[in-house]
Structure 1
């Protein structure tokens, strides 16, 4: 069984597209004879995220922690209890590629897979920010990027290293660091792909959105100094 975990905190603007993309990825591997279970973890939602999840008939659990590390961990452990042997994580503002699950299946057996993200819309950001981002992002096999929006692992490996920490940011990085410390096998693949938003209202301090904000602000300051 494969479990898919999506933490969501007030994600009504993106959640439906996220869940539709996941369903397409599930349909893409329907001939693999693998049971796949999706679980949304609704964390402190005050918008229509719960109603969207219910309307789409997607299982969910709720918590009031405002902490992505705790939310991810709750979802992962709930799915492991249901029998999931492999866990695939993404984010509610992201859309997985149609072959997202297939590429993970093809890489088995493995302890963990770190995939890549592609920004779906650069309209909120300056051309300079886009250029600087693309210059440094390693969209290749053997990259070393870590994204909670595209991180998967075996249940055995997750439990062995203690799971996601109860922190508001970098829970994905800390998990991969522990996987490496235990000398577990990680594949860094650009074939496992996710489109993510370029929103500038960061949910997590120092998360991906904050990284884009900081990069944009740096380019604005540089532009002002040069003018």
Structure 2
């Protein structure tokens, strides 16, 4: 692997972008001397997100799409351009023949999220084992959610874990753009992120699985994401949490657009497996 690029879409995240970038710099230090490039996509921002991201050491791309799929794709494009330029500059004969995309790892998170110190190291290790994609899990940031909301969310989020052997790895059914990694080669082979206002992460995972790529699902090193009730993407986590606030009983299942949680995907053959707007089969690895 020649480099890691972290892409962070952001819309008016001046309150949270600094904490996100601090956590990413800590995670990047754990994979040194492997180069880590951080790209923040400031999408239709009307606040200081772009300025704060640049101050935090990120490369900044400004877009006006108000579309997370477009923003993630723009961030990946910029990251690969920067790495290709660096590869050409480092090329001994100056002809730029190096394949900058072939061994680059793309890590995804969100601007309202903080990652644990070993987050990138874990993704790089799974890539080294031959996986093309790593799908991680989330936790609600405790400073942004009350205990009842966390209990309601977790009751649905972890419901498939009880079907796994005690002590065994939980091959979870979730897909989150806030905790996702993919090889650049695999990403480009399937056409990258689609210009979807929500579900771009599930759509990418579905195409990778359908074309036989190796996907690792892991609950190690979950990220912490803000538990806000008014989100940036329609049908995302914020909408789910808002529905949980209106659901009677602490153990009620979330009521997404199709009657289940919108931040999880169906697990074939697993009783009680969740589903989302777009079903993605789970391949047990």
TM-score above 0.5, yes or no: yes
Alpha-carbon distance in structure 2 between the residues aligned to 1:44 and 1:99: 31
Q: Counterparts of 1:66-85 in structure 2 under 5 Å?
A: 66-81=66-81, 82=83, 83=100, 85=104
**Residue 124 of structure 2 is aligned with which of 100, 105, 122?**
105
- 1:117 correspondence with 2:138: yes
- Matching residue of 1:41: 41
Q: Post-superposition shift, 1:132?
A: 2.6
Contact persistence 2:144–2:228 (CA under 8 A): no
Q: Post-superposition shift, 1:183?
A: 1.4
- Matching residue of 2:166: none
Q: Deviations over 1:36-68 (max 9, x none)?
A: 100001101100101211222321111111100
Contact persistence 1:104–1:192 (CA under 8 A): no
Alpha-carbon distance in structure 2 between the residues aligned to 1:124 and 1:57: 29
Q: Post-superposition shift, 1:192?
A: 3.5
Alpha-carbon distance in structure 1 between the residues aligned to 2:76 and 2:34: 18
Q: Counterparts of 1:182-201 in structure 2 under 5 Å?
A: 182-201=211-230
**TM-score by structure 2 length?**
0.73
Contact persistence 1:122–1:130 (CA under 8 A): no
- Matching residue of 1:89: 108
**Unaligned residue ranges in structure 1 (runs of 5+):** none
Larger Rg: 1 or 2? 2
**Unaligned residue ranges in structure 2 (runs of 5+):** 84-99, 162-168, 253-285
- 1:154 correspondence with 2:161: no
Contact persistence 2:105–2:124 (CA under 8 A): no
**TM-score by structure 1 length?**
0.90
Q: Which piece of structure 1 moves more, 91-100 or 161-170? A: 161-170
Report 1 or 2 for greater relative contact order, CA contacts < 8 Å, sequence distance ≥ 6. Answer: 1
- Matching residue of 1:166: 195
Specify the SS of the correspondent of 2:232: coil
Contact persistence 1:125–1:216 (CA under 8 A): no
Paired residues, number:
219
Alpha-carbon distance in structure 2 between the residues aligned to 1:53 and 1:41: 9
Q: Post-superposition shift, 1:123?
A: 5.3
Contact persistence 1:111–1:154 (CA under 8 A): yes
Specify the SS of the correspondent of 1:162: coil
Q: Which piece of structure 1 moves more, 139-148 or 107-116? A: 139-148
| Alpha-carbon RMSD | 1.9
